[in-house]
Amino acid sequence: MAHTFQDLTRPSDLSAHSEGTGALRTQIPVYMDLLPPCNNACPAGENIQAWLSLAQAGQYEAAWQKLVEENPLPAVHGRVCYHPCEDGCNRAFIDTPVSIHAVERFLGDKALEEGWAVRFEAPASGKKVLVIGGGPSGISAAYHLRRMGHEVEIREAGPLLGGMMHFGIPPYRLPRNVLDAEIQRIVDMGVSVRLHHKVSDVMAEKTAGGFDAVFVAIGAHISKKIDIPSRDAGQILDALTFLKDTETGKAPKLGRRVAIYGGGNTAMDAARVAKRLGYEPLIIYRRDREHMPAHAFEADEALAEGVKINWLRSIKEMTETAITVEIMRVDENGRPQGTGEFETLEADALILALGQETDTAFLQNIPGLEFDQEGRVKVGPDMMTGAEGVFAGGDMVPSERTVTVAVGHGKKAARFIDGYLRGRPYQKADKHPVVGFERLHIWYETHAPQQLQPQAAESERVQDFREVLSGLTEKEARYEAQRCLSCGNCFECDGCYGACPEDAVIKLGKGNRYQFDYDRCTGCAVCYEQCPCHAIEMVKD
């Protein structure tokens, strides 16, 4: 008798399964792929589960090649990304999330050590794209466009590529040799670069250079200001200027006690840099810790290094040696309200870390461009502005401002630019349903706590700008990758094969998964119940 097998292209019906066997079979199992929550949460759109699977098998270069299909800066992201992927990791319901960023850093560092080059084959398209801005979004767009076969030129107003990764993220978080090496790898792929070149007329440069499209990603480099009444005030400067001057070896002289006004990640970085320069830093923030924009671990690390934080304080006046602050309270909506009570804090200088804005004045003369109330450029779902062939991304468009979001913007824009240039609009593939922990059927022992990255002692690391976190060893990184549960995707555990009472599951060989023999299958759903990652669904027969 001829056997019938599962058609892997058959659409699945995600209705809840009901028991039905033998002649009364009402359902059959099908193999399918669901979307892991880590992949779903990644702003850069990485296929995290795929490269973790290769890493856990010890195939590190293959894992890295899979990773850089989506993200050209893994060694950077393994250090500076706030890893929302780990916030979504289903393993958190068992013990602790997989330390995805640590494995990504391991792969990124190993690629630099081994000199791995990005493998890509794309015939020359004959099209040219101008990228304005050499920060993470511009670099990402240039990288992906180059992989697609386009000629790309980055024009950057500053002295080097990297943008705020160079001038806004301190070396203790991101060593410059790592950043420079990953950027150089992209340049070596054939991306042209013009430094010290500030674009003032986008359309004129587009026409003069014969460019077919433009991607603008100039970032947010202008610090927000605030008026503080003062008399004989001490020195006041903004956090970005302070960080940039320190980075270029021109750290300002600020006295002994330095106050930092703000509660974001930049405020934490400014305070920790001030500590390393020998000052006594004090953060002043008008809300409480619960409502601060900085990530919790940023505040934890600042406090551990001896930075003092005064929550619920708003600056009212500054003199040469002191700052008068009003004590605040947070209302039911999370907004700070004054109490009418004041106190004085000693400070010789004030660093303002109140957020950043983008200088988009040079774009105002481009017909069709629209801006929001904060001066950011409006773009459509395809990242194109109101001007034909002019795309924008990163911090200069309405979005969350992180390196990973910016890199994701660059990749997204590159795909739409590619479609625009080829006359075939890019169509984003539909996402599979996300698989939550409640859909997993884990039957094996899974307890395996997260491998923590070593940290330099607080007393030692504040002496200089050495990197605070160390990377994982090869053994540790492989162990961490093996903690992945492969949510929603078959990893060939043989659970279905061993559980089927009718021998209806056929092994197709390593890497090819399994197949169902539906002449033998009774629809008992044992395979479904034994699949730990929910790669099997029961559908109506």
Q: Same domain, yes or no, for 303 and 237?
A: yes
- For residue 382, the domain's CATH number is 3.50.50.60
9 has pLDDT over 60: no
Burial group, residue 155, by CB count within 10 angstroms (0-12, 13-18, 19+): buried
The whole-number pLDDT of residue 227 equals 78
* DSSP characters over 44-72: T---HHHHHHHHHTT-HHHHHHHHTTT-S
Is 408 part of a structural domain of the chain? yes
pLDDT in tens, 45-64: 999 999 999 999 999 999 99
Q: How far apart are CA 236 and CA 351, in angstroms?
A: 6
User: Which is more confident, 447 or 6?
Assistant: 447
Is 399 part of a structural domain of the chain? yes
Q: Same domain, yes or no, for 500 and 476?
A: no
Q: Which of 143, 69, 67 is nearest to 105 (CA)?
A: 67
pLDDT in tens, 273-326: 999 999 999 999 999 999 999 999 999 999 999 999 999 999 999 988 899 999
Q: Same domain, yes or no, for 114 and 150?
A: no
Is 341 part of a structural domain of the chain? yes
Is 427 part of a structural domain of the chain? no
Number of folded domains that form the chain: 4
Q: How far apart are CA 393 and CA 524, in angstroms?
A: 51
Q: Same domain, yes or no, for 229 and 347?
A: yes
Q: How far apart are CA 180 and CA 171, in angstroms?
A: 12
Is 5 part of a structural domain of the chain? no
| Section 91-99 average pLDDT | 95
444 has pLDDT over 90: no
Q: How far apart are CA 353 and CA 273, in angstroms?
A: 13
CA-to-CA dists, residue 140 to 293, 377, 388, angstroms: 26, 19, 21
* DSSP characters over 57-114: TT-HHHHHHHHTTT-S-HHHHHHH---HHHHS-GGGGTSS---HHHHHHHHHHHHHHH
221 has pLDDT over 80: no
Mean pLDDT of the chain: 91
pLDDT in tens, 485-495: 999 999 999 99
Q: Same domain, yes or no, for 520 and 494?
A: yes
The whole-number pLDDT of residue 233 equals 65
The whole-number pLDDT of residue 285 equals 96
Q: How far apart are CA 299 and CA 394, in angstroms?
A: 25
Strand partners, 325: 315, 343
Q: Which domain holds residue 167?
A: 128-221+358-422
Token couple for 505: 């599951």
* DSSP characters over 290-332: GG-SS-HHHHHHHHHTT-EEE-SEEEEEE-SSEEEEEEEEE-T
User: Residue 401, Cβ neighbours under 10 Å: how many?
Assistant: 17
pLDDT in tens, 261-285: 999 999 999 999 999 999 999 999 9
Q: Any idea what the Cα angle at residue 508 is, between residues 522 and 65, rounded to 5°?
A: 130
The whole-number pLDDT of residue 467 equals 95
The whole-number pLDDT of residue 456 equals 92
pLDDT interval class at 231 (50, 70, 90): low
Q: Which run of H or E residues covers position 476?
A: helix 474-481
- For residue 477, the domain's CATH number is 1.10.1060.10
pLDDT interval class at 27 (50, 70, 90): very high
Is 522 part of a structural domain of the chain? yes
The whole-number pLDDT of residue 206 equals 96
Q: Same domain, yes or no, for 97 and 149?
A: no
pLDDT interval class at 232 (50, 70, 90): low
Tokens 């004045």 belong to residue: 361
- pTM of the predicted model as reported, rounded to 2 decimal places: 0.90
Provide the CB-side half-sphere exposure for 427 (13 A, CA): 4
CB 171 within 8 A of CB 276: no
The whole-number pLDDT of residue 362 equals 86
The whole-number pLDDT of residue 88 equals 93
- For residue 527, the domain's CATH number is 3.30.70.20
| Section 234-251 average pLDDT | 90
Is 333 part of a structural domain of the chain? yes
The whole-number pLDDT of residue 514 equals 95
Residue 132 — φ and ψ, nearest 5°? -100, 110
Is 431 part of a structural domain of the chain? no
Would strands 514-516 and 505-507 be described as parallel, antiparallel, or unpaired?
antiparallel
The whole-number pLDDT of residue 1 equals 38
26 has pLDDT over 50: yes
| Helix (H/G/I), strand (E/B), else coil: 208 | helix
pLDDT interval class at 378 (50, 70, 90): very high
| Section 9-37 average pLDDT | 66
The whole-number pLDDT of residue 124 equals 94
The whole-number pLDDT of residue 23 equals 55
The whole-number pLDDT of residue 2 equals 43
- Mean pLDDT lowest for which of 23-32, 146-155, 307-316, 492-501? 23-32
- Mean pLDDT lowest for which of 132-136, 270-274, 356-360, 404-408? 356-360
Q: Same domain, yes or no, for 289 and 383?
A: no
Q: Same domain, yes or no, for 29 and 83?
A: no
Q: Same domain, yes or no, for 238 and 343?
A: yes
CB 80 within 8 A of CB 165: yes
Number of helices and strands in the chain (H, E): 18, 19
Q: Same domain, yes or no, for 29 and 71?
A: no
Q: Same domain, yes or no, for 110 and 181?
A: no
391: left (phi over 0), alpha (psi -120 to 50) or beta: beta
**Domain end call among 331, 355, 379:** 355
Q: Same domain, yes or no, for 113 and 228?
A: no
